[in-house]
Structure 1
């Protein structure tokens, strides 16, 4: 018998034998591990609950449905705190904001043909086995409703022994579907796929990099500005998470007149901030900036927005370029933005709102700013990837 001593940042339980990492267990639990690796809970934790999703045991999409919401929030907050405290930083940590169930508006499913037709779903944990998830508790009802129809699309798009990816985004006028497949899009197949999209009310269907049909623009509302992201482009996972991050960014940048938005994407922060400040949006993907620009031009009562396509990893904005702005917003990918953070630290920027999806690189970059004379009064943790190990955060930095 083993006792679970703690959880890793990926939700695996560290056992008392000093070597075992076990899934779907909780600290303090006593467990038996069979020779096949299966785990039997002998003494359950008071924080253990019945999983709300009937697919939890087979599907690998969630890791923490066996724990109470309060436990998961505390665990995720602890991950952020541990990373930040490792650098000797001690800001105030606001309470975790968690997105509700069935609010995930973007997800990547897999599709595979079967003897009876096709299956669309998620893979099992650390497995190539695919499981249908008709009652998934993560994604929005609109995405759940389209899953049965996507089985027919899988028959069209998938080779007999292959597998396809289906990236789905919930849009107001119908799901936006990106098909990733090695099957060639023939003229006849194009007709069939377009007919499928029209019949099932999709807003847009894209085959690899090629748009097949756009029936309605799959626009997203960025607080008053409508933006149609490129197929498969980054989008905050839930509307709740997006609004929580935006509220924090707006609080940090409240007095700004000239803002530079670094790693701006399609304008999640740029366009709402343009209601009261001029914003310069910098992003490495030209298509995303084009979508942002179109959204700004069609918006109402927005101040000036300029865009710049630039690889901020290889060519960060230098201090002489940053002198035109009083405030910066930065939302880098998981690798963080050490080069851009270094130039921000040397600049005259007074206020920075930093958003991150990686506690380790966030803490590293935060430490660079604090060493350069910034204060970090608070951190807001956001859990929009409910029941997963992923966590996001936003923090305020002001020069002393």
Structure 2
């Protein structure tokens, strides 16, 4: 059958296959054929999903495609975002894919239904929870807590009530946060303590509606960034996989090159500032108070040449004059991008910008502002650390 009629030629933004003549087919991979009756005939890039919960579980959207097709999807989304802004496509490096079972942080939903507690990701486009019996994206240390949590929450949750379970793997073990549960009475308090001790949690925090409160933290909890232990505030941002963090860091350091003065914008806990400080003086700017404080304490203890500034770059972006003090700039904004900071970046005197993004659309929007200011994109490194999902990250180098 000709490609223009029924062969799947690409994967759309939400994960469905698209034929050459523009028809969409759920769970189709490039090379599949959409038949006249609506069924899909598997092609060379159609893979057998490893998880029993696929495709109901909203944690993954693309387990039905092989790595080659998944890598092409990542690249295609970035290329499409650039095209949407009328930008030329630079060198596109081969995508880096994080292996299965490497996700070190996750937010799950829990609900009590009668005597049973279900825990897992929501179904796609639904509030229904898929009760997780296996998971091919979570680190084993995180998945191992799912079954014991059912028993713990069964004694704390009322029927038809939901809660949020957030898990992060830190240096000392799992940082577990429960939101939406009410701990009443001595027995419930003792159950929490026993659970934390039995499973050797690094921290157990409860949010009963008034903010997070640590109920168990035998020692200060940290995450090592470039061998420096940084305090991990509750809910602080951390790259989803250590593998993806290394890939992003490697690309950003390559982009910065031998610059001796670097500004790290939206610095978080120091994912880039700390490794950069091994060869440069760094200004780390972060809008969230607790991560900024944690990074400040870490660099003081580690004697790193990093100055930390707590500053909201959406409301008070750095000016061109402030940016002109630096030879290179690293920027890693949230999904909304850095529209407010981009105009000053476009006129800054730095010779290199390393732009790390978790949203190709806002990256392309900001890149257009920079290019109109005289910058060019040298290369883009796509990174798929959210394995089998439609979430895409990238690192890019821009120079004049």
TM-score, reference length from structure 2:
0.91
Q: Find the counterpart in structure 2 of residue 183 from structure 1.
A: 182
| Higher deviation after alignment, 50-59 or 142-151 | 50-59
Q: How far apart, CA to CA, are the structure 1 residues paired with 2:9 and 2:247?
A: 33
Q: How far apart, CA to CA, are the structure 2 residues paired with 1:212 and 1:254?
A: 44
Alignment pair present for 1:297 and 2:300: yes
Q: How far apart, CA to CA, are the structure 2 residues paired with 1:220 and 1:160?
A: 36
Q: Find the counterpart in structure 1 of residue 271 from structure 2.
A: 268
Contact 1:111 1:158 in 2 (8 A): no
1:381 shift after superposition: 0.5
Paired residue secondary structure (1:152): helix
Q: Find the counterpart in structure 2 of residue 218 from structure 1.
A: 221
1:192 shift after superposition: 3.2
Contact 1:276 1:303 in 2 (8 A): no
Alignment pair present for 1:333 and 2:334: yes
What per-residue deviation string (whole Å, max 9, x for no partner) do you get for residues 235-283 of structure 1?
1010110000000111111212111110011111111111111111111
| Higher deviation after alignment, 209-218 or 338-347 | 209-218
1:350 shift after superposition: 1.8
Q: Find the counterpart in structure 1 of residue 364 from structure 2.
A: 363
Paired residue secondary structure (1:272): helix
Q: How far apart, CA to CA, are the structure 2 residues paired with 1:188 and 1:346?
A: 62
1:31 shift after superposition: 4.5
Contact 2:377 2:396 in 1 (8 A): yes
Paired residue secondary structure (2:298): helix
Contact 1:326 1:351 in 2 (8 A): yes
Q: How far apart, CA to CA, are the structure 2 residues paired with 1:31 and 1:356?
A: 34
Contact 1:104 1:237 in 2 (8 A): yes
Contact 1:89 1:367 in 2 (8 A): no
Q: How far apart, CA to CA, are the structure 2 residues paired with 1:357 and 1:248?
A: 14
Paired residue secondary structure (1:88): coil
Q: Find the counterpart in structure 1 of residue 396 from structure 2.
A: 395
1:27 shift after superposition: 4.1
Paired residue secondary structure (1:179): strand
TM-score, reference length from structure 1:
0.91
What per-residue deviation string (whole Å, max 9, x for no partner) do you get for residues 38-77 of structure 1?
xx73422221111112221432211111111110101111
1:88 shift after superposition: 2.5
Contact 1:219 1:228 in 2 (8 A): yes
Q: How far apart, CA to CA, are the structure 1 residues paired with 2:25 and 2:200?
A: 43
Q: 1:23 to 1:232 in 2, by over 3 A?
A: farther
Q: Find the counterpart in structure 1 of residue 194 from structure 2.
A: 195
Q: Find the counterpart in structure 2 of residue 381 from structure 1.
A: 382
1:183 shift after superposition: 3.0
The number of aligned residues is: 391
Q: How far apart, CA to CA, are the structure 2 residues paired with 1:356 and 1:286?
A: 22
Contact 2:32 2:46 in 1 (8 A): no
1:109 shift after superposition: 1.1
Residue of 53, 68, 71 corresponding to 1:70: 68
Q: How far apart, CA to CA, are the structure 2 residues paired with 1:343 and 1:367?
A: 13
Which stretches in structure 2 are left out of the alignment for 5+ residues? none
Q: Find the counterpart in structure 1 of residue 231 from structure 2.
A: 228
Q: How far apart, CA to CA, are the structure 2 residues paired with 1:240 and 1:28?
A: 30
Q: 1:157 to 1:330 in 2, by over 3 A?
A: farther
| Higher deviation after alignment, 368-377 or 136-145 | 368-377
Q: Find the counterpart in structure 1 of residue 136 from structure 2.
A: 137
Q: Find the counterpart in structure 2 of residue 151 from structure 1.
A: 150
Q: Find the counterpart in structure 2 of residue 102 from structure 1.
A: 101
1:90 shift after superposition: 2.7
Paired residue secondary structure (1:339): coil
Paired residue secondary structure (1:233): coil
Contact 2:270 2:295 in 1 (8 A): yes
Q: How far apart, CA to CA, are the structure 2 residues paired with 1:130 and 1:375?
A: 45
Which stretches in structure 1 are left out of the alignment for 5+ residues? 35-39
Alignment pair present for 1:55 and 2:53: yes
Alignment pair present for 1:240 and 2:255: no
Q: 1:3 to 1:221 in 2, by over 3 A?
A: same
Paired residue secondary structure (2:76): helix
1:335 shift after superposition: 0.9
